[in-house]
């Protein structure tokens, strides 16, 4: 492996098979990173190395965590791990009356505990590389709607985890979060039944009259990892087309 070709070091990206994950991989590769992707899918997803990884199992099994650490370090092949992007998430929707215990435990395990344990597993290597951690949260951490209790709670917890880590891991490691609103992914479109009128209405609610593109999430994450913003840690970057600034009332 060429150290010169991958001058920015290695980046570990979870949820690498999704639309945002693949955009993260492409963007970070273009910036000189060696990309190590983790996802449930065994297929290749544009990363230099793709590791089939079940984050639900990782969150509850020390044995899985140890094995995952070994696989990540082998994939890095001596490159410093200079960035970790906790992008993977699950979204279990349901009303207060019908959310199950497994809905809650699975959501918290994947969306909160897995990011925590990945940081813990790689902590020495992240410190040695003066790395940056980016947690992909959501607008649902602060503004939500019916049916999202489990998901919104997990994303709010991830914000709290981001700030706690930023304080405890400084000055060697910076930790920030992104909080996107609607991003144009297959998952989002499926949630709207692939109905173009519904998607057009969604766009109209944003002051930008648009929804976000996965590439904008990736570009924002790359900015947070830049060595030129060493003073930026514990921050929550809201990427929402201005919707959180807009008051919706009858007028």
Helix runs in the chain, H state only = 19-30, 55-60, 62-76, 101-108, 114-128, 149-169, 186-191, 196-205, 214-224
Residue with tokens 């997803």, as numbered in its chain: 45
| Tally of CB atoms within 10 A around 3 | 11
- Cα separation, 176 vs 232, in Å, equals 8
The token pair that represents 144 in the structure block: 């939500």
Q: Report the distance separating Cα 105 and Cα 81, nearest Å.
A: 30
Polymer length in residues for the chain: 251
CA distances, 104 to each of 108, 128, 136, 155, 188 (Å): 6, 35, 19, 12, 21
For residues 189 and 100, give the distance between their C-alpha atoms in angstroms, rounded to a whole number: 25
Instruction: Choose among 50, 176, 63, 37: nearest CA to 117.
Output: 63
Catalytic residue, from 33, 34, 45, 151: name it: 151
Answer yes or no: 151 catalytic: yes
**Which one, of 109, 111, 166, 113, lies nearest residue 140 by Cα?**
111
Residues involved in catalysis? 151
């Amino acid at each position: 492996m060429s150290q010169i070709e991958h001058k920015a070091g290695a980046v570990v990206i979870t949820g690498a098979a999704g639309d945002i994950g693949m955009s993260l991989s492409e963007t970070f590769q273009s910036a000189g990173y060696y990309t190590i992707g983790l996802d449930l899918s065994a297929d290749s997803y544009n990363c230099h190395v793709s590791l089939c990884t079940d984050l639900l199992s990782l969150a509850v099994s020390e044995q899985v965590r140890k094995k995952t650490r070994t696989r990540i370090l082998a994939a890095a092949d001596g490159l410093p791990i200079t960035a970790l992007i906790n992008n993977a998430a699950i979204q279990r929707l349901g009303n207060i009356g019908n959310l199950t215990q497994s809905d809650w435990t699975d959501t918290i395990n994947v969306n909160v505990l897995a990011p925590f344990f990945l940081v813990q597993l790689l902590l020495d290597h992240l410190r040695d590389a003066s790395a940056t951690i980016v947690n992909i949260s959501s607008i649902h951490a602060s503004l939500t709607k019916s049916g999202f209790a489990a998901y919104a709670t997990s994303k709010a917890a991830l914000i709290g985890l981001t700030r706690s880590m930023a304080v405890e891991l400084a000055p060697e490691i910076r930790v920030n979060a992104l909080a996107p609103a609607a991003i144009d992914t297959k998952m989002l479109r499926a949630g709207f039944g692939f109905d173009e009128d519904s998607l057009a209405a969604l766009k109209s609610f944003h002051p930008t009259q648009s929804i976000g593109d996965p590439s904008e999430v990736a570009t924002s994450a790359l900015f947070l990892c830049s060595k030129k913003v060493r003073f930026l840690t514990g921050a929550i970057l809201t990427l929402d087309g201005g919707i959180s600034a807009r008051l919706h009332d009858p007028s």
